[in-house]
Amino acid sequence: MSQKPLNFLCITTYFKGEPFLESCKKEGHNVYLLTKKKLENEDWPWKSIDDVFYIDDWNQENVIKGIAYKFRTIKFDHFVALDDFDVEKVALLREHFRMPGMGRTTAHYFRDKLAMRIKAQEEGVNVPKFTALFSNDAINKYADTIPAPWLLKPRMEASATGIKKIHSKDELWQIVNDLGDERDNYLVEKFAPGDVYHVDGLNFDAKVVFSRVSKYLDTPFEVAHGGGIFRSASCEIGSEVEKGLQKMNVDVMKAFGMQSGASHTEFIVSKATGELFFLETSSRVGGANLAEMVEFSSGVNLWGEWAKIEIAKLNKQTYKLPKIHSKYAGIVVSLSRFEYPDTSSFTDKEIVWRMHKPWHIGLIVVSDSSERILELLDKYMHRISNEFHASIPAPDKSL
CB 303 within 8 A of CB 19: yes
- Contacts for 379-384: CB closer than 8 Å, 24+ residues apart: 380/332, 380/346, 381/217, 381/229, 381/231, 381/332, 383/346, 384/229, 384/332, 384/334
The residue type of 181 is D
Distance CA 56, CA 399 (A): 26
Confirm or reject CATH 1.10.1760.20 for domain 129-190, answering yes or no.
Answer: no
Please report, in angstroms and rounded to a whole number, the separation of the first and last CA atoms in the chain.
50
User: Cis link prior to 19 (omega < 30° from 0)?
Assistant: no
The residue type of 340 is Y
Measured CA angle at 268 (ends 266, 272), to 5 deg: 180
The residue type of 229 is I
Distance CA 335, CA 356 (A): 12
Distance CA 266, CA 33 (A): 29
One digit per residue, the tens of pLDDT, for the chain of length 399 reads: 446 899 999 999 999 999 999 999 999 999 999 999 999 999 999 999 999 999 999 999 999 999 999 999 999 999 999 998 899 999 999 999 999 888 888 888 899 999 999 999 999 999 999 999 999 999 999 999 999 999 999 998 766 668 899 999 999 999 999 999 999 999 999 998 899 999 999 999 999 999 999 999 986 666 665 567 999 999 999 999 999 999 999 999 999 999 999 999 999 999 889 999 999 999 999 998 999 999 999 999 999 999 999 999 999 999 999 999 999 999 999 999 999 999 999 999 999 999 999 999 999 999 999 999 999 999 999 999 999 998 765 555 444
The string of DSSP codes covering 290-327 is: HHHHHHHHHS--HHHHHHHHHHHHHTT----PPP----
Distance CA 123, CA 117 (A): 10
- Tell me how crowded residue 42 is: count the other CB atoms within 10 A of its CB: 12
User: Domain coordinates of the chain in residue numbers?
Assistant: 7-101, 129-190, 194-387
**Residue partners of 101: CB distance under 8 A and separation at least 6:** 78, 79, 80, 91, 94
Largest CA distance in the chain: 65
Enter the CATH code of domain 7-101.
3.40.50.20
β-partners of residue 8 are: 31, 78
**Residue partners of 371: CB distance under 8 A and separation at least 6:** none
β-partners of residue 236 are: none
Instruction: Tell me what pLDDT residue 396 has.
Output: 55
Provide the strand spans (E) within 217-350.
Answer: 230-234, 261-270, 276-282, 328-335
For the chain, count helices (H), then strands (E): 12, 16
How many angstroms from the chain centroid is the CA of residue 256?
Answer: 16
**Residue partners of 61: CB distance under 8 A and separation at least 6:** none
**What is the SS3 assignment for 85?**
helix
Fold that domain 194-387 belongs to in CATH? D-amino Acid Aminotransferase; Chain A, domain 1 (3.30.470)
